[in-house]
């Protein structure tokens, strides 16, 4: 028999509208027009102005002929212009392509071509590299230059004046422009390129539905009340700033922009603007804790990802008044989609136990429907024993549409109806997952899997080690053996034998690196260690 609840009860415009985070801004601008949306140096932008400027930008893009499915590239620091792009670009129906400002010209050119950029908005600081990229690229996007008052006038000024000015461009726009809702919530809102530690970068396409849901998910993860104040220590070009450009509009929050992540301006902002939340890689915590020690009057929430926060850093952060939460994610899941949900009773544990619990990546975000660790061969979950390695897989509404113009990579990533992260992890008895390695970074020695991260963790605990990276080295007898590369801390010294002895004390013998080399470790422009270069070094 037919389900009677499906008869004559169809979707119509009254009861079905595409989910999009753009509506958050419209709503808050209507309800709190005078609330401060953005602080940037001396500049304060109200929600009414933020909404109007976003619509002006959208109307100008539309005037340029841009519409649904066209790409607007942004090479911008954490500035009001970058926030406006997160609304103005999709309000024109277009797709926002944020570019990592640390990239070199060739990679930028590759992205511009692949994304078929129609317009490129560039901060004056990065104009020179942008022009170099445009020399290489096939596409010729319209170039618009953002001259940030917080950026000192420099030698670029002469070159910049020949390109349209962002402020002038926006000023010509229509502040009451009827912006475009997506045709469908599945429409693309952004494209972000992977950093390409392995070959060509892939264009991760995100949609309005996922951006809406992850933006709201952040509020749950971060327990963010209305009027929260968010400091931009995380680059907005990273996975759309983990969707926080949209989150803040949902709660009438304030963005505090920051061009450069340095100790003094961070502490200044924390005190002056009563910041409540900020995000960043562990390096940001080191920056915060460097220099004169300061203490916060009120608790501030810090969200970190990329690597487990070390115990000492955690303790120092706590002492300074920060509450640190560990997140995990990838561009393919809109930024963070896994959170180390903290149990109140864990507060009473000793510091080292807290650090061990906090090192785990955790559990699924509220808007992620499923997260598990699978044996890739069988697609069966690994036992929750904290030991068996498997691949982290995601399923849910905050997983990307797919890779742009790359059906093979897309099909591979979604094989079996789950997104394959390429990260290896164990599942603890309480269901929390913990990363052990990238699948390609695992070392198989005498049939045993060795996690390179596990060895690196031990090396990092040695006071003389500043940076450590371990890769598989081909070996006649064992197949592969661990090979460690180490950068020593300033003024510190340690020998190969000392480090091997150190490792022997802390791990099974077969895991101890057979070789230790002291050398500068190669990184991508985004700061990720390029293990493939190290692998090339150890090839026979």
Q: List contacts with a second copy (CB under 8 A).
A: 2-17, 19, 23-24, 27, 30-32, 68-69, 95, 116, 186-188, 191, 205, 210, 216, 219-220, 223, 225-227, 250-251, 341, 343-344, 363-364, 366, 369-370, 394-397, 399-402, 404-405, 407, 410, 413-414, 417-419, 431
Instruction: Based on DSSP, count helices (H) and strands (E) in the chain, helices before strands.
Output: 18, 26
Q: Which two tokens stand for residue 324?
A: 């640190």
Residue closer to a second copy (CB basis): 13 or 540:
13
Residue closer to a second copy (CB basis): 316 or 410:
410
The pairing of strands 229-231 and 277-280 is parallel
Residue closer to a second copy (CB basis): 13 or 491:
13
Least separation in angstroms between residue 341's CB and a second copy is: 5
Residue closer to a second copy (CB basis): 6 or 162:
6
Least separation in angstroms between residue 11's CB and a second copy is: 7
Q: Which two tokens stand for residue 386?
A: 């904290």
3-state DSSP call for residue 113?
A: helix
The span from the CA of 377 to the CA of 55, in Å, is 49
Q: Which two tokens stand for residue 359?
A: 């090192």
Least separation in angstroms between residue 207's CB and a second copy is: 8
| C-alpha pair distances (Å), 383 with each of 339, 375, 389, 416 | 20, 10, 9, 20
The span from the CA of 250 to the CA of 479, in Å, is 54
Least separation in angstroms between residue 10's CB and a second copy is: 8
Least separation in angstroms between residue 65's CB and a second copy is: 12
The span from the CA of 265 to the CA of 58, in Å, is 32
Signed CA dihedral, 214, 220, 221, 222: sign only: positive
Residue closer to a second copy (CB basis): 3 or 463:
3
Least separation in angstroms between residue 16's CB and a second copy is: 7
Residue closer to a second copy (CB basis): 216 or 359:
216
Q: What number of other Cβ atoms are within 10 A of residue 207's Cβ?
A: 26
Residue closer to a second copy (CB basis): 188 or 471:
188
The span from the CA of 88 to the CA of 80, in Å, is 12
Least separation in angstroms between residue 463's CB and a second copy is: 36
Q: In this structure, what are the phi and psi dihedrals at residue 172, rounded to the nearest 5 degrees?
A: -75, -10
The span from the CA of 380 to the CA of 372, in Å, is 9
């Amino acid at each position: 028999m037919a389900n009677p609840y499906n008869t004559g009860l169809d979707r119509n415009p009254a009861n079905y509208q595409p989910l999009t985070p753009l509506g958050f801004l419209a709503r808050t601008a209507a309800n709190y027009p005078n609330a401060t949306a953005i602080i940037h140096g001396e500049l304060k932008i109200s929600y009414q102005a933020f909404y109007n400027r976003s619509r002006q930008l959208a109307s100008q893009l539309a005037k340029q002929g841009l519409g649904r499915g066209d790409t607007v590239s942004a090479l911008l620091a954490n500035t009001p212009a970058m926030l406006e792009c997160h609304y103005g670009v999709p309000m024109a129906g277009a797709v926002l392509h944020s570019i990592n400002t640390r990239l070199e010209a060739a990679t930028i050119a590759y992205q511009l071509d692949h994304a078929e950029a129609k317009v490129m908005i560039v901060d004056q600081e990065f104009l020179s590299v942008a022009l170099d990229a445009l020399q290489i690229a096939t596409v010729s996007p319209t170039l618009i230059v953002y001259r940030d008052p917080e950026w000192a006038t420099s030698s670029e000024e002469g070159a910049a004046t020949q390109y349209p000015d962002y402020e002038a461009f926006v000023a010509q726009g229509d502040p009451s422009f009827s912006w475009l809702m997506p045709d469908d919530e599945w429409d693309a809102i952004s494209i972000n390129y992977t950093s390409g530690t392995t070959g060509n970068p892939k264009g991760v396409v995100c949609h309005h539905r996922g951006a809406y849901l992850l933006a709201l998910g952040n509020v749950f993860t971060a327990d963010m009340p209305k009027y929260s104040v968010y400091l931009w220590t995380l680059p907005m070009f990273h996975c759309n700033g983990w969707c926080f450009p949209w989150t803040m509009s949902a709660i009438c929050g304030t963005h505090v922009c920051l061009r450069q992540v340095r100790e003094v301006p961070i502490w200044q902002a924390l005190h002056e603007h009563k910041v409540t939340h900020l995000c960043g890689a562990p390096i940001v915590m080191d920056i915060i804790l460097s220099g004169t020690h300061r203490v916060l009057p009120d608790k501030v929430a810090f969200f970190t990802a990329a690597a487990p926060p070390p115990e000492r850093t955690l303790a120092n952060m706590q002492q300074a008044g920060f509450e640190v939460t560990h997140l995990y994610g990838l561009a393919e899941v809109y930024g963070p989609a896994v959170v180390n949900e903290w149990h109140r009773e864990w507060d009473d544990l000793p510091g080292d136990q807290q650090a061990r619990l906090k090192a785990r990546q955790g559990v699924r975000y509220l808007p992620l429907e499923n997260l598990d660790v699978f044996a890739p061969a069988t697609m069966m979950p690994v036992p929750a024993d904290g030991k068996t390695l498997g691949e982290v897989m995601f399923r849910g509404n905050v997983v990307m549409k797919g890779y742009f113009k790359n059906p093979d990579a897309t099909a591979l990533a979604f094989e079996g109806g789950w997104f394959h992260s390429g990260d290896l992890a164990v599942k603890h008895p309480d269901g929390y997952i913990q990363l052990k390695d990238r699948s390609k970074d695992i070392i198989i020695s005498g049939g045993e899997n060795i996690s390179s991260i596990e060895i690196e963790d031990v090396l990092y605990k040695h006071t003389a080690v500043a940076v450590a990276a371990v890769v598989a080295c081909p070996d006649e007898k064992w197949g592969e053996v661990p090979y460690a590369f180490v950068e020593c801390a300033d003024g510190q010294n340690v020998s190969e034998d000392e480090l091997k002895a150190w490792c022997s004390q802390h791990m099974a013998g077969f895991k101890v690196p057979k070789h230790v080399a002291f050398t500068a470790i190669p990184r991508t422009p985004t700061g990720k260690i390029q293990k493939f270069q190290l692998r090339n070094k150890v090839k026979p």
